[in-house]
């Protein structure tokens, strides 16, 4: 019996939204054509995709590709002075409406929620170690309440699940952060995007151990491999997140140190049926986009066939 998953890709290997100089001249159509040729069935979104639902649908249809999902920059971790939890959630819902409507129009079932309040992930001169942190259980609890309310509204208004992306440089980065987030949020309102590369870089020496703890909450997976020697250097020299990216902390599955066979064993055993998305930001001048996208696809395809 086939394993009911699909293999998609994020265009970040061709063009980088946070560092436009990496692949900035690459056409969206180049990425879509090459991804389709390799065998990917869908793409996550980036800044070069059409912003309106029908236009996005038409562009993807040109290449016979599905809309996997799209990143949403959320700001629920920090509330303005005098603003209540409900007011903060209402403001976020208003701000996200067009994006969620675009995803819904194109059949996406999850949104990649990236917490951007206070984040240092996009600051090339700020060490990732200077990321924001909650200082008390009460702050964590208030954040969880806002996420629960936001996630519930996304499901009722747009039929979209909030897939929370633990991310370097943000409030939820370490395995302990993920544990706390999952403990305090509701299982039917806030779900987990498991990113293998960010899990390792964030402190999970064995990403599969973290995955096993929370696999029942996972609705989306980013397959990002790591170069451990570069990550060690990034930690020792207090690099920023973007400096790490430029120097190659991440790569595609099959080119790094993460054991994807055990990751897929865990997902398959738990009945996971979502997307498996190759997402490895690199400099395409150093790591040619097509060759690395092909390596990532073939690695995942072979493992999926083995699990089936």
CATH superfamily of domain region 6-307: Divalent-metal-dependent TIM barrel enzymes (3.20.20.150)
Token pair of 25, please?
A: 């001249």
**In this structure, how many other beta carbons lie within 10 angstroms of the beta carbon of residue 247?**
18
Look up residue 99 and give its two tokens: 């994006």
pLDDT at 19 over 90: no
Q: What average pLDDT does the segment 91-107 reach?
A: 98
Q: Is the pLDDT of residue 23 over 80?
A: no
- Can you give the pTM of this predicted structure? 0.97
Q: What is the pLDDT of residue 273?
A: 96
What stretches of 71-150 adopt beta strand conformation (E)?
71-74, 110-115
Please give the Cα distance from 202 to 244 (Å, whole number).
Answer: 13
pLDDT digits (tens, 9 = 90+) for 275-305: 999 999 999 999 999 999 999 999 999 999 9
Q: Dump pLDDT digits (tens) for 245-262.
A: 999 999 999 999 999 999
Of 114, 105, 22, nearest to 59 by C-alpha is 105
pLDDT, tens digit, 9 for 90 and up, residues 29-81: 999 999 999 999 999 999 999 999 999 999 999 999 999 999 999 999 999 99
């Amino acid at each position: 019996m086939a394993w009911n998953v699909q293999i998609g890709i994020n265009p970040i290997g061709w063009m980088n939204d946070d560092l436009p100089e990496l692949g900035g001249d690459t056409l969206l159509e180049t990425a879509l054509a090459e991804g389709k040729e390799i065998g990917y069935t869908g793409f996550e979104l980036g800044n070069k995709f059409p912003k309106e639902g029908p236009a996005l649908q038409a562009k993807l249809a040109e290449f016979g590709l599905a809309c996997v999902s799209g990143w949403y920059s959320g700001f629920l971790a920090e509330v303005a002075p005098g603003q209540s939890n409900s007011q903060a959630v209402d403001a976020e819902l208003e701000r996200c409406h067009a994006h969620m409507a675009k995803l819904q129009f194109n059949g996406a079932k999850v949104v990649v929620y990236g917490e951007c309040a206070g984040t240092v992930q996009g600051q090339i001169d700020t060490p990732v170690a200077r990321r924001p942190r909650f200082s008390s259980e009460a702050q964590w609890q208030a954040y969880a309440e806002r996420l629960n309310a936001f996630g519930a509204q996304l499901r009722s208004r747009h039929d979209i699940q909030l897939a929370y992306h633990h991310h370097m440089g943000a409030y939820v980065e370490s395995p302990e952060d993920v544990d706390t987030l999952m403990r305090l949020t509701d299982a039917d309102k806030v779900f987990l995007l498991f990113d293998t590369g960010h899990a390792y870089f964030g402190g999970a020496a064995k990403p599969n151990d973290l995955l096993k703890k929370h696999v029942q909450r996972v609705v989306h997976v980013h397959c990002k491999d790591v170069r451990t020697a570069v990550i060690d250097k990034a930690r020792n020299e207090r690099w920023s997140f973007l400096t790490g990216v430029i120097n190659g902390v991440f790569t595609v599955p099959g080119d790094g140190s993460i054991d994807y066979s055990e990751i897929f064993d865990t997902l398959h055993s738990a009945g996971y049926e979502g997307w498996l998305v190759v997402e490895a930001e690199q400099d395409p001048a150093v790591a040619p986009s097509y060759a690395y996208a092909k390596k990532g696809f073939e690695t995942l395809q072979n493992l999926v066939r083995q699990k089936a």
